[in-house]
Amino acid sequence: MRSAYNEIEHTSGIKPDAVVAGPADLPEGFWGRLTENPYAHDLFRVLRWIDARAGARKPLGRASTPRDEPVRMRQTPSMAFAPSTLSAASCDDPDGIRELSIYSFGLFGPNGPLPLHLTEYARGRIHHHGDDTLTAFADVFHHRLILLFYRAWADAQSTVSLDHAGQQFSRYLASLLHMGTDGQQGRDSIPDHAKYYMAGHLLRQTRNPEGLQLILHTYFAVPVQIREFIPQWIHLEQDQQLMLGDAEAALGRSTLLGMAVRDAQHKFRIELGPLRIESYMQLLPGARQARQLLDWVRQYVGLEYEWDVLLVLDQRDVHGLALGQSTPLGLSSWLGLRDPLRGDARDVVLNLEQRIRAA
């Protein structure tokens, strides 16, 4: 869903927190269409537009007095069950105050807390005597109650939170991910909102390959496979190697021959592709997406395991080296003609962690 926050940026080129108060910020003809066909609109959708675009200093339901809010909320007393959420809209007030009337949520009506005869009385006074004293008094409470009802709904909606610069819902998710303070924001190359979107995976105590696969596939929009138990050689420190004259070495218990130990439990491989050449180049060392891949793995796995990435280039983009081309050696260039029967190129295996440490 496209939020009204993004809509403001797209149409005006400025941030919502810089918008100056004024009803002109609402779409052209907004109140006209609302006045003609109020039943065709949803209450929360209308209030969301007003909340985001009417230019109030505070979100609806947060202002201290009604004078600081761009709309007045009322209830239409009716004995019928609500056929729609909105009953009427008005913008004819000489002071420029807009009004919205609803059916359901309020003191009157078949679902209201007041006895039904009071709804009949209030409706009769309006239609037979033109007297709205009772309903006007009740609207003092309706205005506050309806906007608090909307505020409770809006605070629980992630997209509605983006309509304002405060982004309260984003702070809730950030706190779950231990990113609730300003110092924890923008720590790496991954946008914070991408992490919020993946909060369900990042919150789990157990991290499985399927979670990492889904995160990378969703973020980079490329085929992803996770290969576990990749063999590697773990190099031993010099004091752990067998030395002549070491009296503490015991055969079969504390003696190791050589400088490294073969291990297949602490390394995995991420296979990306087949990739077209444009996506392939974006994942090579030094590119932005390569850094994002590294940060995603660190965010999900940490530094406990070793890993590397296999970039699979689509066979349609595998070409021989030619004069005048600027292609990195060993990454996207091949000498001679490659046999098409070999399929996709699976030659490039990168250890991004080692490259970062060596940089």
R_g over Cα of the chain: 32
Residue 349 belongs to domain spanning: 208-229+265-358
Q: Are 76 and 43 in contact (CB under 8 A)?
A: no
155/217 same-domain check: no
Predicted confidence (pLDDT) per residue in 209-268, tens digit: 999 999 999 999 999 999 999 999 999 888 888 877 766 777 667 777 889 999 999 999
62/171 same-domain check: no
155/192 same-domain check: no
Domain boundary among 161, 195, 217: 161
Instruction: Provide the number of structural domains found in the chain.
Output: 3
Q: How far is it, in rounded angstroms, from Cα 117 to Cα 313?
A: 76
The vertex-173 CA angle with 289 and 226, nearest 5°, equals: 40
278/190 same-domain check: no
Average pLDDT, whole number, for the chain? Answer: 86
Range of lowest pLDDT (99-113, 138-152, 182-196, 330-344) = 330-344
72/115 same-domain check: yes
Tell how strand 98-102 and strand 345-350 pair up. Answer: unpaired
DSSP state string for 222-243: S-EEEE----EEEEPPGGGS--
Confidence category of residue 96, pLDDT binned at 50, 70, 90: confident
100/184 same-domain check: no
Q: Give the model's pLDDT for residue 9.
A: 36
Q: Are 270 and 307 in contact (CB under 8 A)?
A: yes
Share of the chain above pLDDT 70, in %: 91
> Does position 25 have pLDDT exceeding 80, yes or no?
no
Predicted confidence (pLDDT) per residue in 58-81, tens digit: 889 999 898 889 999 999 999 988
Confidence category of residue 3, pLDDT binned at 50, 70, 90: very low
- Ramachandran angles phi, psi of 64, nearest 5°: -75, -35
Inside any domain, residue 53: yes
185/106 same-domain check: no
Inside any domain, residue 244: no
Inside any domain, residue 114: yes
> Does position 99 have pLDDT exceeding 60, yes or no?
yes
Q: Give the model's pLDDT for residue 241.
A: 82
> Does position 344 have pLDDT exceeding 60, yes or no?
yes
347, with CB counted inside 10 A (0-12, 13-18, 19+), is middle
Mean pLDDT value across residues 153-162 = 88
Inside any domain, residue 346: yes
12/156 same-domain check: yes
Q: Give the model's pLDDT for residue 221.
A: 97
User: 233 or 338: whose pLDDT is higher?
Assistant: 233
Query: In angstroms, what CA-CA distances link 16 with 84, 91, 265?
Result: 31, 24, 51
Predicted confidence (pLDDT) per residue in 295-326, tens digit: 999 999 999 999 999 999 999 998 877 777 77
User: 247 or 156: whose pLDDT is higher?
Assistant: 156
Q: Give the model's pLDDT for residue 247.
A: 62
Inside any domain, residue 242: no
Q: How far is it, in rounded angstroms, from Cα 215 to Cα 296?
A: 8
23/156 same-domain check: yes
Mean pLDDT value across residues 124-144 = 95
Of 191, 150, 168, 157, which Cα lies nearest the Cα of 1?
157
Inside any domain, residue 29: yes
Residue whose structure tokens are 């004091």: 239
Q: Taking the model in full, what pTM does it have?
A: 0.74
Predicted confidence (pLDDT) per residue in 167-205, tens digit: 778 888 899 999 988 889 999 999 999 999 999 999 998
> Does position 292 have pLDDT exceeding 80, yes or no?
yes
Q: Give the model's pLDDT for residue 12.
A: 31
The count of C-alpha atoms lying within 13 angstroms of the C-alpha of 125, restricted to the half-sphere facing its C-beta, is 13
133/199 same-domain check: no
DSSP 258: S
Tell how strand 345-350 and strand 232-235 pair up. Answer: unpaired
Query: Hey, what are 8's tokens?
Result: 């403001």
Q: Give the model's pLDDT for residue 175.
A: 92
> Does position 23 have pLDDT exceeding 70, yes or no?
no
220/354 same-domain check: yes
353/330 same-domain check: yes
Query: At 104, which amino acid appears?
Result: S
Inside any domain, residue 98: yes
Inside any domain, residue 252: no
Query: At 207, which amino acid appears?
Result: R
